[in-house]
Amino acid sequence: MKTEIDLNSDMGECFGPWIIGDGVDGEIMQLISSCNIAAGFHASDPNIMRHSVENALKYGVEIGVHPGFRDLVGFGRRHMVANPVELTNDCLYQMGALQAFLHLLGGHLHHFKPHGSLYIHASKDRDFSYALISTLHKYNPHLPIYCMENTQTHAVAKELKHPFVREFYGDRDYGDDGQLVMVRRARAYTPEEVAQKVLQACEQGSVQSVSGKTISVDFDSVCIHSDTPGALALIQATRKLLEEKDIKIQKPKIHTA
């Protein structure tokens, strides 16, 4: 039974005049405790990045970088073939872009969370996870990486004693293996469905897989994506239910081994 949990969402996932999702980042930012700001490869641009940082600082939300595959057309949800060093350099490049705005506006980088297919790739590919996390550890040994439990990312972070935060996804389906069922476009969920799913995970440490099997989960942060249809209502309902059950929303517990 959890008495406190981090609630995170991806922010700034638009590009120029094009809006992804419902265009409610400002409202979502007031409900979450940490955010993952897109840094230009799968979404966002300099103006959107700056605005996202300003919003996060305004509402006291912890700021993470959200690097993705170099895939604006596919929103970072297509797998791209590249070697671990190239992908790690792409991540550093995106992190540097966001760091510039944080430095200018007086913020700090709280965490690192890959986006979409890059997140899934890291979860399955030890070579990439090792290259990425060993580089992050040299860059900043105190910068946690968000990941799912029982993945290569999680295993490598523990091996290298790099800080990590484990995630649960309220608006994504789980397979029988406890991992996400990857889709190009998220299906519609009702606010009640997502809120009850998150509450079950917090109270019972379990989730129903797509086959109906009950599987165990453990985590420090709950993610609900801003591009999921009706995201604002999903997050509002989830936060309301958790607070009614005396589960506090606050920045995440960070593991160091």
Pairing of strands 214-216, 206-208: antiparallel
Q: Average of pLDDT values for 122-144?
A: 98
The answer to the question of residue 257 being in a domain is: no
What is d(CA 208, CA 198) in angstroms, rounded to the nearest whole number? 11
The answer to the question of residue 168 being in a domain is: yes
Supply the angle between the helices 126-139 and 116-124 in degrees, to the nearest 10: 110
**Residue written as tokens 């690097």?**
67
The answer to the question of residue 166 being in a domain is: yes
CATH code assigned at 163? 3.20.20.370
Q: pLDDT tens for residues 154-170? A: 999 999 999 999 999 99
pLDDT at 183: 65
The answer to the question of residue 256 being in a domain is: no
DSSP codes joined into one string, 31-44: T-SEEEEE-SSSS-
User: What token pair was written down for 186?
Assistant: 């998220």
Q: pLDDT tens for residues 188-223? A: 789 999 999 999 999 999 999 999 999 999 999 999
The answer to the question of residue 108 being in a domain is: yes
The answer to the question of residue 255 being in a domain is: no
pLDDT at 185: 60
pLDDT at 22: 79
Write out the H or E segment, with its range, that includes residue 95. helix 84-105
Q: pLDDT tens for residues 215-232? A: 999 999 999 999 999 999
What is d(CA 246, CA 166) in angstroms, rounded to the nearest whole number? 21
The answer to the question of residue 196 being in a domain is: yes
DSSP E strand boundaries for 73-198: 111-112, 145-147, 164-169
pTM of full prediction above 0.85: yes
Q: pLDDT tens for residues 59-110? A: 999 999 999 999 999 999 999 999 999 999 999 999 999 999 999 999 999 9
pLDDT at 20: 84
- Which long-range contacts does 155-162 make (Cβ < 8 Å, 24+ apart)? 155/126, 155/129, 156/126, 156/129, 156/130, 157/129, 157/133, 158/257, 160/130, 160/133, 160/134, 161/256, 161/257, 162/133, 162/136, 162/137
Number of domains, the chain: 1
DSSP E strand boundaries for 16-144: 34-38, 62-66, 111-112
What is d(CA 67, CA 13) in angstroms, rounded to the nearest whole number? 11
Q: pLDDT tens for residues 4-53? A: 999 999 999 999 888 887 789 999 999 999 999 999 999 999 999 999 99
pLDDT at 184: 57
Where in the sequence is the domain holding 87, given as residue range(s)?
4-249
The answer to the question of residue 245 being in a domain is: yes
